[in-house]
Amino acid sequence: MTFVKLILMFCCLRDIRGQFGNPLNKYIRHYEGLSYDTETLHNSHQRAKRALSPQDRMVHLDFHAHGRHFNLRLSRDTSLFSPDLIIDVSGEETPTDTSHIYSGELFGEKGTLTHGSVVDGRFEGFIKTHQGTYYV
């Protein structure tokens, strides 16, 4: 009887769909929702924008996804942009703010890389680990 219950439970679990069972599209085989405090990240980003010392410019983001813990340590990164960057919209110069761009690594994991932006407390970017690349 126990064996029959196990078989039945396996058949039911195999058919469960949703964010863990369905591919998002032909390029994304697996995705998970994230939950972290966006207000805390936003406040940390605002402090980093005003900071004078390099260690105070760090932003920390911790979350759990894909069966592991991600402990991001991010620093503002303006190296992608020329110091004399000018954006011209319809003949008018538009002010450029690159303070939302960050690069960093996973804390305690040498050889990892993360790069992205923090806007309104949401991190969007990628995390490259030894196991693969994750897109957030």
For residue 98, count other CB atoms closer than 10 A to its CB: 13
pLDDT in tens, 40-95: 999 999 999 888 887 788 999 999 988 899 999 999 888 888 888 888 889 999 88
pLDDT the model gives residue 27: 79
pLDDT at 8 over 90: no
For residue 106, count other CB atoms closer than 10 A to its CB: 20
pLDDT the model gives residue 59: 94
pTM of the model: 0.74
Residue 57 backbone dihedrals phi, psi, to 5 degrees: -85, 0
Nearest residue to 125 (alpha-carbon basis) of 110, 113, 108: 113
Question: How many alpha carbons lie under 13 Å from residue 34 in its C-beta half-sphere?
Answer: 18
Alpha helix positions (H), the chain: 2-14, 38-50
What is the pLDDT of the chain when averaged over all its residues? 83
**In this predicted structure, which of 22-26, 50-54, 118-122 has the lowest mean pLDDT?**
22-26
pLDDT at 23 over 80: no
